Amino acid sequence: MLIDTHSHINIMVKKTFDTLMQAEDFINSRNIINEAATNNVTKLINVGTSLIESINCIELANRFENVYAAIGIHPNDLTGDWKKELNELKKELLNKKSNKIVAVGECGVDKHYPDFNLQRQEDAFKAQIELALENNLAIIVHSRDAYDETLKILEEYKNNNMRGVIHCFSEDLNFAKTTISWWFVIGIGGTLTYPKNNTLREVANTVSLNDIVLETDAPFLPSQSMRGKQNHPQNILIIAEYLAALRNISLDEVAKQTTDNVERIFRI
Ligand SMILES: [Zn+2]
């Protein structure tokens, strides 16, 4: 069995961001989930990026077996209303309409695009870490061009029984070792296959297999052989095969250990 710990099927099937999914979108989602299963990707977590998209993720989890949800607000999707939106997400957790919410995220710091509001990003990141801790959930961390900021904030909570994933890992070995010591695992996806990405290959080959989970980030970040196309949860197989070759171990070993890691971090 392989697990995609980070996909956005809700974004794959819709044309417009921040709209609720319609009946037809759920039919298309079913097709995507079935296609993934043909590659042995039989569990997946859809990750929220805004209030509405998080609600879509909860709906997908409610409708499909072996599909789970993470709810949160992405640093690039924070508005002046983020506190109100996060409160709505808190209500979703309290309602417990779905016990298939397994994480808070993706949340974090992203300094990639100009005009980011760092204070707002940091405040929202901390609030979402606290929401995860209060509910004993994993945290899915998005960190882009924010090495110091992410570490500084995570360090504040390091003794609070945190656990989670550094999603789309893009930092160095030192960052990996530090966050692993705080009970995080490293999310490895299609960027592992990019020709210039020796830093990620070094990390993926050096840390224990105990500390790695696989993710596609579909529809984003397809692996090298598919660049320019829409990514798909079924492509976890490509990443798993690539990681097995890199570490000179069997695909079975990668599948078994990364699946155990997902069960440990997300309790699924
Ligand atoms: Zn994502």
User: How many whole angstroms from 69 Cα to the centroid of ligand 1?
Assistant: 12
Phi-psi region of 118 (alpha: psi -120 to 50; beta: other; left: phi over 0): alpha
**pTM of the model as a whole:** 0.96
At 222, list the tokens: 């397809």
User: How many whole angstroms from 74 Cα to the centroid of ligand 1?
Assistant: 8
Alpha-carbon gap, residue 125 to 148, rounded angstroms = 14
User: How many whole angstroms from 247 Cα to the centroid of ligand 1?
Assistant: 25
User: How many whole angstroms from 51 Cα to the centroid of ligand 1?
Assistant: 14
User: How many whole angstroms from 83 Cα to the centroid of ligand 1?
Assistant: 21
Q: Which residues of the chain have pLDDT under 50?
A: none
Phi-psi region of 231 (alpha: psi -120 to 50; beta: other; left: phi over 0): beta
Domain that holds residue 247: 2-266
User: How many whole angstroms from 101 Cα to the centroid of ligand 1?
Assistant: 16
Q: What is the structure's pLDDT at 94?
A: 87
CB 209 within 8 A of CB 258: yes
CB count within 10 Å of CB 230 equals: 11
CATH code, 86 = 3.20.20.140
Q: What is the structure's pLDDT at 98?
A: 63
User: How many whole angstroms from 230 Cα to the centroid of ligand 1?
Assistant: 13
Q: How far apart are the first and last CA of the chain?
A: 13
User: How many whole angstroms from 7 Cα to the centroid of ligand 1?
Assistant: 6
User: How many whole angstroms from 73 Cα to the centroid of ligand 1?
Assistant: 11
Q: What is the structure's pLDDT at 95?
A: 83
Domains contained in the chain, number: 1
User: How many whole angstroms from 58 Cα to the centroid of ligand 1?
Assistant: 16
User: How many whole angstroms from 173 Cα to the centroid of ligand 1?
Assistant: 22
User: How many whole angstroms from 9 Cα to the centroid of ligand 1?
Assistant: 10
Find all residues with CB under 8 Å of 10, minimum gap 6, and list them.
21, 25, 29, 46, 53, 56, 57, 60
